[in-house]
Each structure stands twice: as C-alpha cells, then as structure tokens.
A and B are shown apart, each in its own frame.
Chain A
C-alpha cells in the first residue's frame, strides 16, 4: 500500500509543477465555459422552462463545475501506456513488486489530485462572478462528491487504459484513440448534459460507463444525483477493472519485447 501512496505522491508532484500549463488551461477552460454557458442558458430561456431537469442557474453551475473538473478527469486521454508498450518500457512496470495496473492508477489519482484545486476553484470564482452558481448549502453532497469524483477519475483512467492496452495487439492505436475520444466527448455529457438528449440517444448513453465518468460527479455535488448514481459508478468500476486485468493477463503472454 505504501508503494501506491508514494506513486500517487509522485504523480501529484510531477503535474503540480507545470504552472504555466495550468494557467493556459484555465484560459482555455474559461473561454469554453462562457461559450457553453451561453448555449445552454439560451436554450433554457428559449424553451421557457427547465430543460432536462436544469434551470438557468443549474445549467450555469453544470458548465462551470464541468470546466473546472476537466483538469482532474482525464477526458482527453493519454497515450503513455501505449508508448511504454511500444518502447518496451512496460517490462519495467511488470518487474516491479506491485501490480502494473495499480501503479498506473495510483500515479493517475495523484495527477488528478494536483489538478482539482488549481483548476476547479478559479472556474467556480469566474462562474460566481458572471453567470451565477447554485450549489447546495449542506455538507452531504460535497462528501458524496469526493467519492464520486474519485470514481469518475478512476473510470476515465481505466477506460483510457483499455484503449492503450490495445497496443499489445495492434501497432498503432491512434485511430482507436481518436474514435474513442469522439464517442466519449458526446456520451460523457461534456457538450450537453445527457438528460438533454432525445430518448434514443439517452438510452444509448445510459447503457455505457461514459455518463458515470463526468456527468455523475457534477450531478452529485449539485444534489441532482445521489447514492444510486455512485452505485452505478462502482459497478462500472468493477467491470472495467475486470476487463483491464483480463487484457493485461492475455496481453503479457503474447507481448514480445525485443532488446535487453
């Protein structure tokens, strides 16, 4: 357990150092936040009533929480594991006395922790000062949020790990990476909340783990979702860990690393 904790701390320190990158990301998240908030709020104003369970203030809150969490939740994915497969460095990960999946997972949770405060707080300040926020006044949603966020980050990490592990079978994963990102952008609720979707698309989204990655933590802190949604996240977590382990098990038997 100690090893995982140290790996998480390493991940934290590695990403907390890039201060200019964090500032640049804030500018980007802020600009997109204003565009997204405009679109959702205009849709609600035009419709004349709450859309998909969100009123004006809630839509604004949804956008700014989402923009703030883009740092922690790695929606745009990483290719680090695939690169390690290609270069052979993955052999090092297997040689260590702790599970490979656990190492990567711990490091990613550390990375996520380094991004929560510097990315979320400024976005909430911007939101409060401009389009307004509606956050609950009692502590329970915030406690549930911590759990839901850890689950959301883990699910996103695991989903990307599955895509990366494909590198054990195919040479180039760029195409899969691109396709996966497209599906993810839509079905996580990043562009528009999943509850705004027309029926068929909503059914499709709800049958995937994607809403559990991004929309669920946001809905939980807003008090729009609770333990049930967290339970769904937990089920998906077990499923994805299972698939990842299976892929690692099969893949390592097949993988040949050249050189020494």
Chain B
C-alpha cells in the first residue's frame, strides 16, 4: 500500500504529467488487474496457446497431404508459422483493442476519450493491454526458434540479423493493419468484417507458405496488404526455400521499411477520421 501511495501524485506535486508516467500508470493498472484473477488469466492464456496450436494443426494437415507445400517442407513451413505467430501475437496485444472501435463509437464512449488532453490512439492502446495474447506470441517464438534449429540453416551475420529483425517488421505491419481497420469505422460503422478481411486475412496469409497461393491472391497480399513480407519471404530466405515469381530475396528485408511507411499513411487516415468524427450526441 505504501508503495502504491508513493507512486500516486499528491495535489502538491503539480508538475505536468509526463507521457511516460501516464503510460506506465495506465498499462500498470491493466496488468495488475489481469494478474489479480489468476485462474481466469491462466484459462485465457491456455486458450490462446491452444488457439495457436490449432492453427498449426491446419498447416500440419496440409503438409501431411502434400509433403512439399508452396516450396517448403514441414520444418520450413513451421518457421513461417512461428514467425507470423510472434508478430501477430505482439501486435494483437498492443493494438488488438482497435478491433473494438465500433463499440466505442456506437456506445458513445469515444467522446469521453476525445475530451481528455492526450492522444486518442494512446488511450485506446493502453485501455486494454491483453497479456493473455502473449500466450500466442510465446508459442510462436518457441515454434520459430525450434523450427529454425532443425532446418539446418547456415548462419551468416546477415541471416542472424534477418532472423532478429523480421519479427519487428511483422509487428509494425500488423500494428498498421489493426489501425487501418480501426480507422475504417469512422466511415463505415457496420463494416467491421471488411476490416477483418485485411487484418485476419493478412494474418492467415502470413502464417502459410505463400508460394502455395494463387498468383493474384499472393500479389494482393504482398503489394497491397504486405502479409507475405511478415514471415514467408524472410523465412524462405533464411531456410533457402525457393521464392515464387514477383518475389526476390531482397524483399526479405522490407518488413521494417514497409511497416514504417504503412504506419505513416495509416496515421494520416486515422487523423482524417478523428477530424471527420462528429459523435452521436448525448
């Protein structure tokens, strides 16, 4: 108790609240709240793990029937799956809250966030940091590292750098997709599923050997929604699997730059959405 009180600001201490203090307080409160309900948290974490494992069963079933699928064997496909899983798990924990933008708008809760003197995005992101989503990321990380270790990768400095940087690019790309899907709600309130098509469709594509996709689908999910850049292209380069047409080895490094560029564009759309938003009154 004494500790908690020491961290709380007294009325005397009127220096402006720093950005960092605010984030720490809000995220800290969320984390303490979730850790408080131990059994519920454990069940949530377990279901996230199981979810990740179930998705892997699909890939296992496909490769059970076609041992070389989209140019990859089971171990190589597991690298793709694991990498996509880490990137999506972390992005979902940080930005998954944007999925419920429509209920914020519909229930008029967005107004209460808008009148506060800090960024809307920051409030939405810190409002519901879901630690349980780490379950998926942990499963993915384990799968990624294990599969890399059995693929017989000839490690060179640039391959080590690629293996370490690829998850960062993936987190950036998925984060931008979540924000894009959330921005959509400023224009179409009932359109949640359309936004899902790109976020969750992108996640689906990112977790499979994309060489197996029909060319138009693959081109769309590479050059419009850059899902194959999250895991498939970097993994293919890491494990020396063949790349399909329109894809080059150099594109393995595009995750971070494309992610940043996407963030820049989507942030502009997000700002335009907030400016356009008029509220429902009440």
Residues of A within 8 A of B (CB): 18, 20-21, 23-25, 27-28, 30-32, 34-35, 37-39, 41-44, 46-47, 51-52, 131, 172, 174-175, 178-179, 182-183, 185-186, 191-192, 196-198, 201
Contacts and interface: CB of A to CB of B under 8 A. Distances in A.
Majority secondary structure, A binding face: helix
A46 B64 CA distance: 11
B62 A192 contact: yes
A192 B217 CA distance: 19
A175 B65 contact: no
Contacts of A27: 193-194, 197
B62 A39 contact: yes
Contacts of A201: 57, 61
B194 A192 contact: no
Contacts of B66: 42-44, 46-47, 51
Given A42-B212, A175-B44, A20 B190 contact: yes
Contact of A24 (B47, B58, B190): B190
Given A24-B188, A197-B61, A38 B214 contact: yes
B43 interface: yes
Contacts of A192: 58, 61-62
A232 to B, nearest CB: 22
Interface of B: 40, 43-44, 46-47, 50-51, 54-55, 57-58, 61-62, 64-66, 68-70, 188-198, 200-201, 204-205, 208, 212-214, 216-217
Contact of B47 (A21, A42, A178): A178
Nearest to A175: B43
A35 B40 CA distance: 34
Contact of B44 (A32, A47, A178, A182): A178
A43 B62 contact: yes
A98 B101 CA distance: 38
Given A175-B43, A179-B47, A198 B194 contact: no
Contacts of B189: 20
Contacts of A179: 43, 46-47, 50
Which 4 pairs from chain A and chain B are nearest by CB? A46-B66, A20-B190, A24-B194, A28-B197
Contacts of B198: 31
Contacts of A30: 197
Given A24-B195, A31-B197, A131-B214, 15 more contacts: A27-B194, A32-B201, A35-B205, A35-B208, A42-B70, A43-B62, A43-B66, A47-B66, A175-B43, A182-B51, A186-B58, A191-B55, A191-B58, A192-B58, A196-B62
B212 A182 contact: no
A186 B204 CA distance: 14
Contacts of B204: 32, 35
Given A28-B193, A31-B198, A172-B40, A38 B213 contact: yes
Nearest to B70: A42
B217 A46 contact: no
A24 B191 contact: yes
Contact of B201 (A23, A31, A41, A191): A31
Given A35-B217, A39-B213, A24 B65 contact: no
A179 B44 CA distance: 9
30 contacts: A21-B191, A21-B192, A24-B188, A24-B195, A28-B196, A32-B197, A32-B204, A34-B216, A34-B217, A35-B205, A35-B208, A35-B213, A35-B217, A42-B70, A47-B65, A47-B66, A51-B65, A131-B214, A172-B40, A175-B43, A175-B44, A179-B46, A179-B50, A182-B47, A182-B50, A191-B61, A192-B58, A192-B61, A196-B61, A196-B64
A35 B201 contact: yes
Contacts of A185: 54
B191 A20 contact: yes
Nearest to B63: A43
Contacts of A21: 190-193
Contacts of B196: 28
B190 to A, nearest CB: 4
A182 B171 CA distance: 24
A174 B132 CA distance: 13
Given A182-B54, A196-B61, A38 B217 contact: yes
A62 to B, nearest CB: 14
Nearest to B191: A24
A24 B193 contact: yes
A196 B191 CA distance: 34
A255 B190 CA distance: 35
A32 B46 CA distance: 26
Contact of B61 (A24, A41, A182, A198): A198
Given A28-B197, A51-B65, A39 B188 contact: no
B208 A39 contact: yes
